[in-house]
Amino acid sequence: MYKGDIPPIEAHQRLKANASAVLIDVRTQAEWTFVGVPAVERLVRLAWQVYPTMDVNARFVEEVQNMGLPKDAEIFCICRSGARSASAATALTQAGFNNCWNVAHGFEGDKDAENHRANANGWKADGLPWVQS
């Protein structure tokens, strides 16, 4: 199991404080393009699932290993709401990375009372920096 779920604000603070920490955005290209991405240094865009089939990216762990990150590097995984990123953090932990975290509520967070995301919780709702292409 990965280290745990971490609130977006804490993940952002730890990314700023630790020059070797990375944030892996495990969403799809479509999400990065149309919804936006966290505006942080050391952001890696690497899809956990391949659009449009949404099959698990069989090369995900290999691609992270090829980045040359130390096994104890602080790795934060983020997705839309925290589910895919939990799976990605688990896979990385099983591959020997021992400091992996899941960003709770993800980039857009849970749906609010009107069924919209990015209002209730998550990276965007917490007012953390992000950009849209």
Query: For the segment 90-131, what is each residue's pLDDT rounded down to a tens digit?
Result: 999 999 999 999 999 999 999 999 999 999 999 999 999 999
**Average per-residue pLDDT for the chain:** 97
Q: What is the mean pLDDT of residues 61-77?
A: 97
pLDDT tens digit string along 12-50?
999 999 999 999 999 999 999 999 999 999 999 999 999
**What is the CB neighbour count within 10 angstroms for residue 100?**
26
- In Å, how far from its chain's centre is CA 132? 16
State the pLDDT at residue 71.
97
Question: Does the pLDDT at position 64 exceed 90?
Answer: yes
State the pLDDT at residue 37.
98
pTM of the model: 0.96
Angle at 28 between CA 112 and CA 31, to 5 degrees: 45
Q: What is the mean pLDDT of residues 64-85?
A: 97
Domains, the chain, in order of start with CATH, read: 4-128 (3.40.250.10)
pLDDT tens digit string along 40-63?
999 999 999 998 999 999 999 999
